Amino acid sequence: MNINAMRNIDFYIGVPLCFLVTCLDFILQIFRSQKLPSPKNILFIELSEMGSAILADPCMRKARSWDCELFFLIFNKNKASLYLLQTVKDENIFVLRERNLFLLLWDSLRFIFWCRQRKIDSCVDLELFSRVTALLTWASFAQNRVGFHRYHQEGLYRGEILTHRVPYNAHTHIAHNFMNLIESLVGGVSSDGFLKQTIEKQDIKMAQAEITKDMRRAVEDKIKKATVGWNSNQGIVLINANAGEFLPQRKWPKEYFMRLIRLLLESRQDIYILLTGAPNESDENNWISTAVGHARCVNFSGCVFFEELPTLYSLAKVLITNDSGPGHFSSVTNIRSFVFFGPETPSLYGSLGNSSAIYSHMSCSPCVSATNHRKTECTDNLCLKVISPESVVKKVIAVL
């Protein structure tokens, strides 16, 4: 199911359903205890983006420190992101198959019974004003239901079915916003409903992946097999030229990547360039590697399993990527990363790792936000095209 179909379902079906469920919930409150339980079994919902599942990890670890059992609901295609740090047990993850509407509805029905069996008492909706996830939060039958609430913002209606209504702060990093959700669950909320406390920087520090010698050896063998002449004493620069289908405007032009790689290879004789990506992203990477035409530039798409990515990042010196999953996946290691931003802003979605944002600060940027459900009419992403390969190579060479 494509992203626009999901947006239409969320609006045209989600809005009236949220209204009906609000009315039903109002009636049910008459028969429900007004005292909310302390959280023990907490369900997190983040369906659409793998990067956001990584950015939510600090708040999930906070919840786990309270001796709570953690559960997670996510789209099937994004489940692998939860394996990088393994904060949530595999048996506690429920996936929705998003291939078509029938499967989505069937899995949503199974989800209700799954929640009852696991006695979910608290549900944290990490999505930004999604009606579907608000309805799933209510369908979990959790007594504590936490999520972002619109308050005086227009056009973001998704009912009145949350018990803990947290204002979304569009001026602070999303990881801070996620932490506000979980902190609101355990108190500290003032009489006007706001969480008035400071989230310290150390509170949203990313955990680091554990990498063994055997894991390093296995990935090194794969690199040697894919390259000609590489050894562990030579540096690796990883390039992620893809950005997924959700927001293609986030892609720096592939011709720019080609020029950047040529400049890097001319500047340094001791590095190899690996073009990373999923198997279905191999064609675009193959175009880049062919255009570069150098033995030290290799299409590495699909050569490692997803759970091997932290090991790959730990072996490399630098990652250069579009604003997409790898910018966040790499934050579980100490690799130096450079992330291109345009439609999004690094102020809200910057990597929590050892990372630098490359951002033009064009007047129209960022053009996507929670208020437009991250949809833009832009068809010419000049905010990224004005960033030249020559300016980027200087930053990378300085690090190398």
CATH number at residue 112: 3.40.50.2000
Same domain, 199 and 222: no
Which of these three, 159, 175, 204, is where a domain ends? 204
119 and 223 in a single domain? The answer is no
Token digits for 348?
Answer: 């809200």
Domain that holds residue 19: 3-204
184 in the same domain as 105: yes
What is the 3-state secondary structure of the chain? Answer: CCHHHHHHHHHHHHHHHHHHHHHHHHHHHHHCCCCCCCCCEEEEECCCCHHHHHHCHHHHHHHHCCCCEEEEEEEHHHHHHHHCCCCCCHHHEEEECCCCHHHHHHHHHHHHHHHHHCCCCEEEECCCCCHHHHHHHHHCCCCEEEEEECCCCCCCCCCCCCCEEEECCCCCCHHHHHHHHHHHHCCCECCCCCECCCCCHHHHCCCCCCCCHHHHHHHHHHHHHHCCCCCCCCEEEEEECCCCCCCHHHCCCHHHHHHHHHHHHHHCCCEEEEECCCHHHHHHHHHHHHHHCCCCEEECCCCCCHHHHHHHHHHCCEEEEECCHHHHHHHHCCCEEEEEECCCCHHHHCCCCCEEEEECCCCCCCCCCHHHCCCCCCCCCHHHHCCCHHHHHHHHHHHC
Same domain, 189 and 153: yes
* Residue at which a domain ends, from 174, 204, 234: 204
Indicate if 153 and 232 belong to the same structural domain.
no
Name the residue among 208, 206, 205 with its Cα closest to residue 310. 208
Answer yes or no: do 93 and 156 share one domain.
Answer: yes
Give the number of domains in the chain.
2
- Predicted local confidence at residue 233, as pLDDT: 87
Do 225 and 175 fall into the same domain? no
- 258 and 372, same domain (yes or no): yes
Q: What is the full per-residue pLDDT of the chain (400 aa) written as tens digits?
A: 778 888 888 999 999 999 999 999 999 888 777 788 899 999 999 998 899 999 999 999 999 999 999 999 999 999 999 999 999 999 999 999 988 889 999 999 999 999 999 999 999 999 999 999 999 999 999 999 999 999 988 889 999 999 999 999 999 999 999 999 999 988 767 767 677 888 877 888 999 999 999 999 999 999 999 999 899 889 999 999 998 777 889 999 999 999 999 999 999 999 999 999 999 999 999 999 999 999 999 999 999 999 999 999 999 999 999 999 999 999 999 999 999 999 999 999 999 999 999 999 999 999 999 888 888 999 999 999 999 999 999 999 999 8
Residues 386 and 252 in one domain: yes
Q: Could you tell me if 120 and 27 lie in one domain? A: yes
Domain boundary, last residue among 204, 234, 266: 204
Same domain, 329 and 355: yes
Cβ contacts of residue 134 below 8 Å, gap of 6+? 14, 18, 125, 147, 158, 159, 161, 162
| 237 and 311 co-located in one domain | yes
